[in-house]
Structure 1
């Protein structure tokens, strides 16, 4: 009761307090006071008894530390809350303090309760009882043939066996017996702790499984007091057999096991597989790899799209704009058999249109044009000028990365991160932000967990993250584990020793120079696989590896990914060439694949069948509306004017592109992130917020109102207006039913209000909003 009372009472009291924000003397006040009083008192006693329990239960670890400090902080807040509750008639100026204490104390006990439940029931206590968790298969690592292990194990067999044992420990035991939580003084996450045992002595007797307490306890029935795991699913028969065999063989744990990951780890070095033979119509190397994949998976090629679909697709993908009816007519009349490749080259040559479209992709990726909370004067450095010219000039990717890592005044914003006001978490200091962002953006690597403690989802350790972050620091960083300083100073190392060393005694500028030179070298195959995978997803709708920030995941075609990365390096790190290579392939020109749910693209059983149909992004949709109706944004909202930076980049459109305007509620509702964090993908699913904005939003409504008048003024005839509107919005003529409906709606002479509604209906149609 003491544990749960403060959670329920303080949170409920805080909820009721929301109803009194406009009037402190509210009928709910007596009830709130009783709830808050009882909750505060029980929170204090809960913290006291929690400390006693921790000292007597033999539990330790990071989760306990977090739980303990949040609990103590909540108890202190509750003491302050009691002080204010003791005043029958609080002064008006103290009411905000009281409410702040109530809300923060409620959040605090909620968080303490969460970590307390993790201690009691395991870190997956919120998910392990869900219905779809019931049939979870054993870890993939134990599908080895146990009979293959001879009486005398070879060194390689010892490593294989011990690696699979470590995998079983990780999947079943770490939640209670690892660095994050240590029950019974037993840890099973490192060799020395495994053989040291726990508070009751050793749990493993090498060569004798019957005398090993570990085997006894994992073999007990579900309801036995000594069974392990005590919470969640028991070990499978195969897992028990594996551990038993391991102990029978003397519990080998050779040094090589430390290098054998229980997680999939992608190779660092580049790899050049031999190209499959070509077939007629499949000369593009990409198509040759896809053709091989289709044959291996018994999949068929879909038909090529028509000229209209292809032209609209490349216009939106390459420059982010809709083609005009005249451009479509010229394209369809072009007799050149290679016209698709030639028109694609022409679009890639429209430097400013290309740059303004792809600026959105890179802004998301590099946290540029940030508009979120925490921004203060000189707390963030925009890189827009440098980024725009880099995209426009098609700067080689290795050079672009070098200028991000070893920056000049215009490109320093990426590794400088966000300087938050006041004291921040150790894992959010700017040096650690740089390590996390470089890892995620450039290397497809998640270091966020390992910035606070050893990662639970990979082999990356806290010390490795700090060693990498130290490269970006002016002075040596002190390692903090879960925000608690350890007194240990960080090393200075690149993430992979194969790429070279960083001089720990060098200045920050010298360290960044070394990092830039070492990270972009061709030997870093991971960096180039990451970027080609990102561009592939941008054009094809799904990465070769998904998620694109988790490059250790299995690709649907390792050969295609490796070949693209090496080819990219060998041809000058040319991003436009890569886009041309993909967009001119037969598979890009094929019929698109519709998926019922984005989750289907993430499944382990995913099979690549072709380009995925996608929704227009917030910027593409906005630009299309501005093209067809009236400008959505006025000049005061433009944050960046390319022609002021590059004189020859004169504006060619009578409206501002969405990529260069400040973020606003309209763009946010359509999926544009505030870029407080790196954003490498956007949710393409329609949401309630989008529906409300597109149905009732003032910005779109004003554009439609003005657009209605413009269309009626230029096309006073109903049939002419309808045909022109369909041609410009959908690149086709209206069918008989659509034309009849328009005539029925408009009559002989269209009215601006009716045209406004017609524009709105077109803009919300799937045919307009999707890239097929």
Structure 2
């Protein structure tokens, strides 16, 4: 290869320095011009003219140096072309602006100057993407990192104690995944199909082994002789250090790359599916472990095997009060009344817990009002927000409420979502966003993404833009599935750029059946629904039982619940629950009954200090995870214990059919529009699917509970009613404790409370006491 003359390289690398002249000067010229539009400043005219001349000249120099840079350095790809032509257009516009200024045509001059600054901005934008990566702007936008494709933090790979010992197959697969993740997030921006600096690509095995223009970058078995390792170890600022931009690799990441090379740089030689864990699609019914004298229920028998394997001892079941409150909140989302607590504690029947669960599950209206929250989140159903004003979105509230109230079998529930009636069509129709959108945001792709995520525990979002590098799914798969929902054939877009290739039509899992390619949309959706709900689609039912388990136990058998290809902590338990769910007629309440009456559910709750502990590969199940009340549970608990938080005039509640409103004792939080109070406590905006909420307290929540108008006004209103109803301090305190915490106050608590509200209770004192009780962990947590 002919060596480039050093001067051209040097001048080319001055391009970023020179280019800031037109960026700054032309923008300042426009600003000064705007200041003079209404009130002319003659003294500014000569300065503006000078800025335009200097800006135009420097834009010419910047273009020349930029052309030198792109021709002598390793820059290529569509972004480079866009940046180059935007820069040339800016240069032309700046020269035209000078010419128009000399003609004296003020309107034309100002328009030309505005276009020049727009050109500078566009060229600068593409320059920033080249310098800092294509996600330079998008990576900091809200929600961009909320649902990552995988955990790309520090490596989870455990190095073998003996480097000479061969790795097992699972270890090789994990090592491959970790290395691919490091390369993808640190190297692909410059060394992949979209941009290939130094003729080096690291996204395919044969190209990685081939190396770049300077030869191989790794020597298998010899990390110390590998150029790749030398480059990533160079100090920041060194001209040969890699990556050239962004954060450097951590010591653990470098060590992992060295270990990988020392092991021979293993890479799958066949289809790349072999490096990813892919959960089985078909159902599986494992044999029930043997029962014991104390453990006869199937769930407990599987958990007992798990406990024995992990050397965990069974703990005594929680007391009646704890179990009663736990089940009430999980099934109907309400606090039990003092009378119910007293009666349950006094009940001597040996099966009283089973009878309690049956009773709560038969409270169909309360059940529907509570579980509406879970399904609203998952099905992105809401009562206001983006799309409703323009008719680009429709809700499914009445259909969903009726489905929950009647305990519609889950297979029919899914059928009516995918092959919808008018009342249930809002889910797959998605949101018609106004203005220009990414191709991955079109309604057909939303349908494909949402059906995959909610019903199959599968993240298709990244594959909607490009081939996924941490799963098997390809861009072609995503478009073929989205095309099932489309009225016309979709053109495949790669990273939002049209490819000219038209998508096929097929279901994600071909084992389930073939879609009639040329059939009308309604017929295709009926076929898709039938294929997905058939019993042999074990993934559909594993995903559902895992979600229900996570809601009741605080953590799924598989986590995250949207990544069903991850390993469960008990494969047998997950498979048995899914198979039994189908055998029991797809009955969600029967599934809940089995979980709620198990000895496993009745174990003492387990606290975690950090949410990350629940996602760690080392997680060990020991019982229900202690968790905070959801926004809706907390609001309803305040309504039951103190005073209704929402009035009968709550907008959505008031618009519900009379038949539904008659079933609601007070406006439940699940039936009202989102507001700052519910947002602060964790209710999502539901423009996208949300299948889990954080249970961790945060600053916004603390501020809302301390100074929020809705919460404090409700407590004040309640305090006025409490004062009128209970004039003596002791009686008032005892009633509040019984309603809020389900018990009498301890002597010390009673003394403190009476001192707080005074011998003759004041509204302010009662309000302060109610506030303190509402913030008490015993009120806010499900133990």
Does the alignment reach a TM-score above 0.5?
Answer: yes
Aligned to 2:350: 337
Aligned to 1:493: 506
Aligned to 1:617: 630
Q: Residue 180 of structure 1: CA displacement?
A: 4.3
Query: Cα 1:3–1:142, aligned 2, differ >3 Å: closer, same or farther?
Result: farther
Superposition RMSD in Å: 4.8
Deviation sequence 1:467-491 (CA, Å, 0-9, x none):
1100010011001111110101011
Q: Residue 182 of structure 1: CA displacement?
A: 2.5
Aligned to 1:715: 726
Q: Tell me if structure 2 keeps the 8 A contact 1:51–1:68.
A: no
Q: Residue 643 of structure 1: CA displacement?
A: 7.1
Query: Cα 1:365–1:167, aligned 2, differ >3 Å: closer, same or farther?
Result: closer
Give 1:243's match in structure 2, choosing from 264, 276, 292: 264
CA distance, structure 2, for counterparts of residue 724 and residue 604 of structure 1: 46
Q: Residue 44 of structure 1: CA displacement?
A: 9.3
Aligned to 1:518: 531
Query: Cα 1:634–1:507, aligned 2, differ >3 Å: closer, same or farther?
Result: same
Aligned to 1:187: 201
SS for the counterpart of 1:633 is coil
Q: Residue 109 of structure 1: CA displacement?
A: 4.8
CA distance, structure 1, for counterparts of residue 426 and residue 373 of structure 2: 16
CA distance, structure 2, for counterparts of residue 201 and residue 434 of structure 1: 46
Give 1:357's match in structure 2, choosing from 370, 384, 396: 370
Deviation sequence 1:390-412 (CA, Å, 0-9, x none):
11111111111111111111111
Does 2:439 align with 1:426? yes
Deviation sequence 1:257-295 (CA, Å, 0-9, x none):
115332222222222222211223322211111111111
Query: Cα 1:44–1:336, aligned 2, differ >3 Å: closer, same or farther?
Result: farther
CA distance, structure 1, for counterparts of residue 512 and residue 131 of structure 2: 42
Q: Residue 518 of structure 1: CA displacement?
A: 0.9
CA distance, structure 2, for counterparts of residue 166 and residue 447 of structure 1: 18
CA distance, structure 1, for counterparts of residue 579 and residue 57 of structure 2: 65
Q: Tell me if structure 2 keeps the 8 A contact 1:142–1:242.
A: no
Aligned to 2:494: 481
Question: Which runs of structure 2 are paired with 1:265-284 in the superposition (5 Å)?
Answer: 265-284=278-297
CA distance, structure 1, for counterparts of residue 115 and residue 646 of structure 2: 39
Deviation sequence 1:547-582 (CA, Å, 0-9, x none):
111111221112211111111112111111111111
SS for the counterpart of 1:326 is helix
Q: Residue 543 of structure 1: CA displacement?
A: 1.1
CA distance, structure 2, for counterparts of residue 98 and residue 631 of structure 1: 60
Query: Cα 1:590–1:489, aligned 2, differ >3 Å: closer, same or farther?
Result: same
Q: Residue 161 of structure 1: CA displacement?
A: 8.4
TM-score (norm 2): 0.81
Deviation sequence 1:222-267 (CA, Å, 0-9, x none):
45998998874376444224437x7xxxxx975xx11533222222
Question: Which runs of structure 2 are paired with 1:604-753 in the superposition (5 Å)?
Answer: 604-640=617-653, 644=657, 646=659, 650-653=662-665, 655-753=666-764
SS for the counterpart of 1:265 is coil
Does 2:563 align with 1:550? yes
Give 1:439's match in structure 2, choosing from 429, 452, 455: 452
Does 2:131 align with 1:116? yes
Query: Cα 1:6–1:390, aligned 2, differ >3 Å: closer, same or farther?
Result: farther
Query: Cα 1:119–1:492, aligned 2, differ >3 Å: closer, same or farther?
Result: closer
Does 2:775 align with 1:760? no
Structure 1 window deviating more from structure 2 (97-106 vs 492-501): it is 97-106
Query: Cα 1:283–1:743, aligned 2, differ >3 Å: closer, same or farther?
Result: same
Deviation sequence 1:525-563 (CA, Å, 0-9, x none):
111111111111111111111111111122111221111
Aligned residue pair count: 729
Aligned to 1:249: none
Structure 1 window deviating more from structure 2 (268-277 vs 433-442): it is 268-277
Aligned to 2:573: 560
Deviation sequence 1:43-100 (CA, Å, 0-9, x none):
997787566544543445xxx545764787699799999999999xxx9xx9999999
Question: Which runs of structure 2 are paired with 1:121-520 in the superposition (5 Å)?
Answer: 168=179, 171-172=182-183, 175=188, 176-190=190-204, 193=207, 217-218=227-228, 222-223=233-234, 232=249, 233=254, 236-243=257-264, 257-258=270-271, 260-369=273-382, 371-520=384-533
Q: Tell me if structure 1 keeps the 8 A contact 2:380–2:690.
A: yes
Query: Cα 1:482–1:691, aligned 2, differ >3 Å: closer, same or farther?
Result: same
SS for the counterpart of 1:266 is coil
CA distance, structure 2, for counterparts of residue 276 and residue 6 of structure 1: 72
